[in-house]
Structure 1
Amino acid sequence: MPGIEVVDLISDDGEGYDEEHDVFGYEPEENETPDQISYIEIQDDEDSLDETPTTPTESFPEEIEVPHIDHHGCGRIKPGDTVEMKNASSDSTLRAGDFLRVEKVIEVLETGEVKLRGYAMRRTKHLAPQFDRHLNELFMNWEVRQNDERRHSDQGLQDLALDHVSRKRECVLTNRPYPSLSFRDIKPEIPTSIRKNEEARDWIYEHGRLVCRYLNKVFVHKGKATYTGEVRSLYEEECDDTKASTSAAGKHHRHSSSVEILDSDPISERPQLPQKSRRYRFGDCFCGAGGASKGASNAGLKVLWGADNDKTVLEAYELNFPDASAIEIDIHELPTYMTRKNFYVDILNLSCPCQFWSGAHTCPGQNDQKNVEALYTVGPAIKILKPRIVSLEQTPGLIRFKKHRLYWRFLIHQLLNEGYNVRYTVENFAEFGLPQRRTRLLLLAAKRGIPLPPFPRPTHGPFGSGLKPLVSIWDALAPIRQLPPGTRDHYHQPWEEKRVNGIPYNPREGPMMKCITASGGPAALYFDGTRRFTPREASCLQGFDLDFYLAGSKTQAMRQVGNAFPPIMAELVLLSAAQTLEAFDHGLIDKEEDILDLYETLTAKGIDLNSSSAASSPSSPFSSENLASSSSSGPSSGENNFRYLNRLRRSIVPKKRLRLFGAVPRIEARPDRRVKKRAAAGFGLFVDGGADDDDGASERRKRIKQDSPATQQKQIEEQFWREYGGKTIELD
């Protein structure tokens, strides 16, 4: 085209966000009220939740595949073609201007109707800034139903009636980086009559090559979003330019700066007797006092360093992890301070401050700007350190509320741009052994060339779920209750807490306590109604052991507890990441394997990991064996040569799930947990042994050898009658 260069002519699609529309709305439902039932029932005969199509019982098929169909407007359409829609389809999520990559042409035998079945695609501008707004760039969109056992690639297919088809378009599916294979590479022949830049851009928009590089997968339940999904580059078997060479994957892995390079098939040449796995390294940005690092240590990771800009929390971190480096640094300075050579880790946690995104944030705060800017440091941090796995915990408001949606998309954008695939979910931590309703957004990102780790499945649930019972406040405070007289703790002095006129409640059953926040929050009322929880009690409710160090004033200590990533949940998430890495490094799984449950994946391949001796449940301080001894600092060696996979076990599919929002879960009474009367002040007693000193602080943090439960209870009751004279309350 005379006088106009195509690469200079066409600018990126840099319009504003006013035209964008979300693939799925993540808005709170208007009918969410505390009166709703607190769990979702899953019947044994309802595995699909009315979403999985049933297998026809007729002898003859209802539909058949045909090789092609002749369309009156755009000619012959066959599998592999891409068509554009001209108007909205009422029976699908497709809309005008969307595209369909045709996989099958289907004829319905009863009616003779012919329809197209394929994968929906949409321009990236509609999900900006998650994807760059480049001209003629698309993303593929799949709806995946929970509890549907079909392959996700089958669930992602959508049907399109022929009367919704506008025309055929040229489209390439690839996982190569932009602008490879786009119209910029091929330099389209623009008609010579077009001379203005805007006209040329419009012509390419309507007639130029389209390119799809990413898949956006969203899990739905009964037609509603579940805040669970996946965003990744297309796999090789999904790409047009690599389908013929997908077998060139590999067992031996060379680590590069952006992708995992593979040499040979990991499955066909799997080592029979793998050497003992190395211990994966862990780094913790925004580490606080070390909730994520504690979980990493319990999972068997080697904690190398923690970074934070708060000097007080780093004092606690240094005491909790004496073998790790405690780095006082503003995260914005990290790229100039850290180098990959000196600070490289396999797994990097980036749980930046969450206050701004929280639903409880109703008025501007003095740290709002800093907290927002912290989210923008995720990209620079992983660009420097290039970990294999990235983990992140955040408040669900980041993904749930429309006002924060662009921030959420930008977070995903940073990870995609650095060569990572992303998986995310929102979970209620009560389903994993935490004695509070703490709903949080979890994210795992894997460098391209490494399979995405699955999220752990629930371990605790309501009565009838088939899981362990929910943990009560009474259970969580057992370590404090069983300490012998004379034990002193600066962060547990209940007699110094301000008296309040609260309503007493049963710590063993009834509504589960709400989320503990940095200030304690409304959930921080002790169960006799006379005071708030002490920082040490709050730390127990967050899943910390008694010997976990806090620092600073009691207000600062409560903030350290409320801001922490609970180690119970951190351990499960990070252990799953380590197990996935170990299975990949030993050639047990492929780089592009879609893994939702690692145990099931390996079992389906006939791989025996001696899992009968494994224990993948978290190192909970609430379990009876941990009340008398410290929790494990990592997995035992077991009977095989794996370091992490020997803790892998079959997970139980729950028959009930707690709701994420709305109704407060209830802990049902059980015969073995019902108590008629109990001494009110006998719960959680500490006896003052004098002024606090170094010896006392050291004694406070050491492990206490426990007597039998009967002896412990007798000591508690005897102490109560001596000190308080026998006041009792009814708990039932």
Structure 2
Amino acid sequence: MGPIIKSTSERPPLPGTRNGWEEDELCGDSVQAAIERRLQEMPSRPKHPTIDHTQSQNEEDAVVERDIEILLEPEIAEVIEVIDLTTERAPRRPRTVTNPSRRNPSVTLPNQWLNSYTYNGMELRRGVTIEMLAIPRLRHASFLLIQLIIRTESGIVLRGLPLTRTRNLRGQLPRLRNEVALILEVDNDDFRPDDEQAAIEVPVTTVQKIRICHITNKVFPEHRFPGGIYDSVKDIEEKGVLVCRWKVRHLWGNAVKRVNKKPPCEFMVARINAEDVLKERFRASNSCLTNTWRGGKVRGGSFIPDEPDSARLTVNLETSGAQTGMFQDVWIPRKPGQQFTFADMFCGAGGASCGARHAGFRVELSVDNAPGACNTYRVHFPEADLRQQDMYDFIMEMRPSHLHIDVLHLSPPCQYWSPAHTTAGVNDEANIAILFACHELVKMLRPRIFTLEQTYGILHPRFEYYFNALVHGFTQYDYSVRWKMVNLLTWGASSQRQRLVMIGSCIGEELPPFPLATHSKEPVDGDGTMPYRTVRQVLRKIPPDAVRHDKLHTPSKMKRLRLPRWDPDIPLARTITCSGGVGNYHYSGKRDFTLREYAVLQGFPANYQFQRPGKKRQVGNAFPPTVVKMLYKHLRRWLEQKDRVYANEDELSDSEEEFDIDSDSDHGCSLGDDSEVEYVGGREIDRKTSDVEFIGGRTLHRKTSVVTINDSEFDDSMDIDATTQEAHSPELSIEKIQLIGYDSSSPIELD
């Protein structure tokens, strides 16, 4: 297994540095503890592993991987909600579904709430934390922060927020003695605050003792129990002060899914915000926390043309939090040309950088070691500092640097975590080591916000320890994180693609939410979505004359196929992979897609030039730029809102609009879904105005409703119904996984 790099920089000590046996929790899970210890304490080796990005994947291997992936995907669906958004399911037997009653309703007669209640000599009141019998389904929560004391017909009930020791979170947070976290289970269709809907009710008879618990947003080890006054670990556990700095939030689509034990659709492990801390002495201002971690921030973005770095940021740690807050509440104009800086790790051919740039970010730094991908990247991002080297070498070189980035994107290699990966590979050790290099990158570049894109396979139960260790790598540096599995069709992609997407924010920076879906299968008035992008819509981005000058678009030179034609007025049912994707081919059935067609279907602009070697692999590996643009446009607006920055009147706020990579406009003429104009080769014909058209010297004859188009240059002819276009996708072009669906009746097993 590859090395995990230990910091030797002379930066200020990291928050959460631990010393002594009394601060580390003992783990009850010996297997998990052994794995985490190995991940955290791996020795350095003289020769570090590298990943060969030039390997090719043949079609036969891709078929095998696809079949295995179909078999394993239901196990992932037991951990996180998986929604099939592209295929109609077989009708189910009608059944009556009763919506569960609303949790934690207002207290009404005959019940009544009490200001205090004495139980076994203990005075219970609002704001007091009690120790109770552990609740296994809530991560073994054994503490309750009392919100209400209610007298009911069946006895006294305590309503409040559950807390659990961080050791019960299966490695997602550092195991620190007497550190606890709030457990919040919330529903997307419940619009009450989290602390209202996530409260639980327990009978007063479960109370064991009163505990002192400090809720704070200050960094560890502030406010924890004093050392040297307890005789044993048992005394610390039973009598020591508890400190809550974190909250764990699980989100369900609705209450029915939660009650029926369906898996959550989103997860969050986040630091307590300053607004959540009621007592002043336990509260630190967000600006002071950010200053301590990364030296502050530049409102509106770190990139300011013609302004030296030293003049951009002034940090005064002696300024009070109130003064700083008042200053930052005042809206200021964005300086001309000012942008948030962006770094792209494992950048590949630049899919993420392309989307981020068109969302208004300044691409500052990028790293990859694949020759072909770097050749492509240099052509399109000359302003970026591209490092063509192994990530291990990059981290070692950058350690003396104090470069900080506003937003960081991470797309580590994902082959090892794929559900299709069932046998050992030559790059397994390197892939594991590279995944945990993400922690070093965050520690080194200290972004305000980071995003991570990864295969959903890492959520498979057999990779749980690795995934939790990944989350731990961010939370150990006080980064808040949220993650979910996203079908990229809902974010503007034109092909089926399930990905794990994670957003993180540094201490003192509020964690952004995920953007809402921009596309849906069947938009409803008022939901703000558009129909899924279809293959036909996206391919129309390619100019009609591209066949004459674009070397990546030569349909006449493609191998001739004899496959069923399919309807292009739907999204591409299969994921685009490094080899193009098993079962993907042109809707005419006559040939495969050209590389240009694959690129635009993957979300690249129609003029994006790919360089040798491995052009198709570059396309398949990319994070779709249209998706990245949507996500990063959302993040840019979030940062501008939090920074209180607005654009000048003479400067367009949405700087990404100067070149719209995800526009549905067409080249040559404007074509809608109901247009009567069709492209044939490099020309266009109108099917309404005439029964006879001359095309490239050939004649088109209209007989009843069927038109036979023979293109003499490309020989991609197909018989279609020119009036109704009733062509259908062959079964070959639909994922088997979409046909079998998911077993949503299985309960989630988090522990």
TM interval, shorter chain, is 0.7 to 0.9
- Cα deviation, residue 276, structure 1: 3.2
1:396 shift after superposition: 1.9
TM-score, structure 1 normalization:
0.73
Q: 8 Å contact 1:620–1:626 — kept in the other structure? A: no
1:628-654 deviations in Å (ceiling 9; x for gaps): 69xxxxxxxxxxxxxxxxxxxxxxxxx
What pairs up with 1:18-97 in 2 under 5 angstroms?
Answer: 18=30, 27-29=76-78, 63-72=111-120, 75-86=122-133, 88=135, 93-94=137-138
In the alignment, what sits opposite 1:584? 642
Name 1:154's counterpart in structure 2. Answer: 196
Aligned to 2:168: 126
Following TM superposition, by how much is the alpha carbon of 1:80 offset from its aligned partner in structure 2, in angstroms?
A: 2.4
Deviation at 1:205, TM superposition (A): 2.6
Worse-matched range after superposition: 263-272 or 341-350: 263-272
Structure 2 residue aligned with 1:468, among 525, 530, 536? 530
- CA distance in 2 between counterparts of 1:429 and 1:538 reads 16
Cα distance in 2 for residues equivalent to 1:40 and 1:169: 54
TM-superposed deviation, 1:507: 0.8
Q: Contact 1:174–1:211 (CA<8 Å) still a contact in 2? A: yes
- 2:145 corresponds to which of 60, 85, 101: 101
C-alpha distance in 2, partners of 1:160/1:259? 44
Please list, as runs of the form range in 1=range in 2, the aligned pairs for 1:589-608 lying within 5 A after superposition: none
Q: 1:264 and 1:709 mapped to 2: Cα distance?
A: 69
Q: Is the 8 A contact 1:572 1:618 kept in 2?
A: no
Q: CA deviation at 1:355?
A: 2.0
Give the distance between the partners of 1:447 and 1:252, measured in 2 at CA: 9
Shift of 1:233: 1.5
The alpha-carbon distance between structure 1 residues 489 and 122, as it changes in their structure 2 partners (threshold 3 A), is same
Aligned partner of 1:307 in structure 2 is: 367
Measure, in 1, the Cα distance between the counterparts of 2:290 and 2:218.
20
Separation (CA, whole Å) in 2 of partners of 1:452 and 1:149: 19
State the distance in 2 between where 1:329 and 1:716 align: 51
CA distance in 1, matches of 2:20, 2:572: 61
Distance 2:480 2:663 in 1: 36
**1:294 and 2:331 aligned:** no
Q: 2:228 corresponds to which letter in structure 1?
A: K
Say yes or no: does 1:264 pair with 2:323: yes
Match of 1:564 among 615, 622, 633: 622
Cross-structure match for 1:452: 511
1:281 corresponds to which of 335, 341, 344 = 341
**Residues 251 and 586 of structure 1 are in contact (CA less than 8 Å); yes or no, is this contact kept in structure 2?**
no
What is the distance in 1 between the residues matched to 2:375 and 2:110? Answer: 69
Q: CA deviation at 1:307?
A: 0.7
Structure 2 partner of 1:228: 266
- Report the CA distance shift for 1:370/1:498 in structure 2 as closer, same or farther (over 3 A): farther
Q: Distance in 1 between matches of 2:267 and 2:694?
A: 51
Aligned to 1:225, what secondary structure does the other structure show? coil
Change (3 A) 1:115 1:346: same
TM-score, normalising length from structure 2? 0.71
**Contact kept in structure 2, 1:172 and 1:240, CA below 8 Å:** no
How many angstroms apart in 2 are the aligned matches of 1:279 and 1:35? 36
Q: Which aligned pairs between 1:303-452 and structure 2 lie closer than 5 A?
A: 303-338=363-398, 343-399=403-459, 401-452=460-511
Tell whether the 8 Å contact from 2:519 to 2:532 is kept in structure 1 after alignment.
Answer: yes
Asked whether the equivalents of residues 85 and 521 of structure 2 are also in contact (C-alpha less than 8 Å), the reply is no
Give the AA of the match of 1:429. Answer: L
| Equivalent residue number for residue 214 of structure 1 | 246
- 1:598 aligns with none
1-side partners of 2:465 and 2:428: how far apart? 16
For the residue of structure 1 that corresponds to 2:185, the secondary structure is strand
Deviations 1:2-36 (A, max 9, x none): xxxxx866362243635889xxx984249989799
1:489 to 539, 543, 550: 550
- C-alpha distance in 2, partners of 1:26/1:166? 38
Residue identity in the other structure for 1:572: M
Q: Secondary structure at the match of 1:377?
A: helix
Offset of residue 291 of structure 1: 0.5
Shift of 1:370: 1.5
Change (3 A) 1:292 1:263: farther
Note closer, same or farther for the CA distance 1:471–1:523 as it changes in structure 2 (3 Å cut). farther
How far apart, in 2, do the equivalents of 1:54 and 1:676 lie? Answer: 57
CA contact (8 A) 2:358 2:656 kept: no
Question: Residue 251 of structure 1 contacts residue 266 of structure 1 at CA under 8 Å; is this kept in 2?
Answer: no
Matched, 1:502 2:563: yes
**DSSP 3-state at the match of 2:609:** coil
Q: Which residue of 2 aligns with 1:673?
A: 673
Cα distance in 2 for residues equivalent to 1:323 and 1:36: 39
Structure 1 pair 50/566, CA: closer, same or farther in 2 (3 Å)?
farther
> Partners of 1:617 and 1:146 in 2: how far apart?
32
Amino acid at match of 1:28: A
Kindly provide the amino acid, as one letter, of the partner of residue 226 in structure 1: P
Match of 1:601 in 2: none
Please tell me whether the aligned partners of residues 86 and 573 of structure 2 are also in contact (alpha carbons under 8 angstroms). Answer: no
**Aligned-residue offset at 1:210:** 2.5
Structure 2 letter corresponding to 1:17 = D
The offset of 1:430, in angstroms, is 0.7
- The answer to whether the 8 Å contact 2:359/2:654 transfers is no
Distance 1:242 1:378, change over 3 A: farther
Verify: 1:513 aligned to 2:564, yes or no. no
Q: Is the 8 A contact 1:26 1:225 kept in 2?
A: no
Q: Deviations over 1:102-128 (max 9, x none)?
A: 1221233xx263211111111212223
**Which stretch of the first structure deviates more once superposed, 572-581 or 30-39?**
30-39
The secondary structure found in structure 1 opposite 2:548 is coil
**Offset at 1:327?**
1.1
CA distance in 2, matches of 1:451, 1:707: 54
Q: 1:375 deviation in Å?
A: 1.0
Deviations along 1:77-118, whole A, 9 cap, x unmatched? 2222222222648xxx4476621121221233xx26321111
Aligned-partner residue type, residue 517 of structure 1: T
Counterpart for residue 173 of structure 1: 215
Shift of 1:229: 2.4
- Paired with 1:160 and 1:315, the residues of 2 have a C-alpha distance of 62
CA contact (8 A) 1:258 1:419 kept: no
CA deviation string 1:576-608 (max 9, x = no partner) = 2222222222279xxxxxxxxxxxxxxxxxx99
| CA distance 1:174–1:622, shift in 2 (3 Å) | closer
Cα offset, 1:145, TM superposition: 0.9
Shift of 1:237: 3.8
Q: Secondary structure at the match of 2:517?
A: coil
Q: Which moved more, 1:7-16 or 1:250-259?
A: 250-259
Q: Distance in 2 between matches of 1:301 and 1:571?
A: 10
Cα distance change on mapping 1:567 and 1:52 into 2, 3 Å: farther
- Cα deviation, 1:272-296, whole Å, max 9, x if unaligned, reads 6534372111111100000010011
* Partner deviation per Cα, 1:38-96 (whole Å, 9 max, x = no partner): 5999xxxxxx986756988x9x5564431122223x6222222222222648xxx4476
User: Identity over the aligned pairs, expressed in percent?
Assistant: 26
Looking at structure 2, the residues matched to 125 and 710 of structure 1 have their Cα atoms a distance apart, in angstroms, of 70
In structure 2, the CA distance between the partners of 1:372 and 1:34, relative to structure 1 (3 Å rule), is same
- Which residue of 2 is the match for residue 665 of structure 1? none
Paired amino acid for 1:474? R
CA positional deviation for 1:253 = 8.3
CA distance in 2, matches of 1:560, 1:172: 51
Taking the aligned partners of 1:137 and 1:513, their CA distance within structure 2 comes to 47
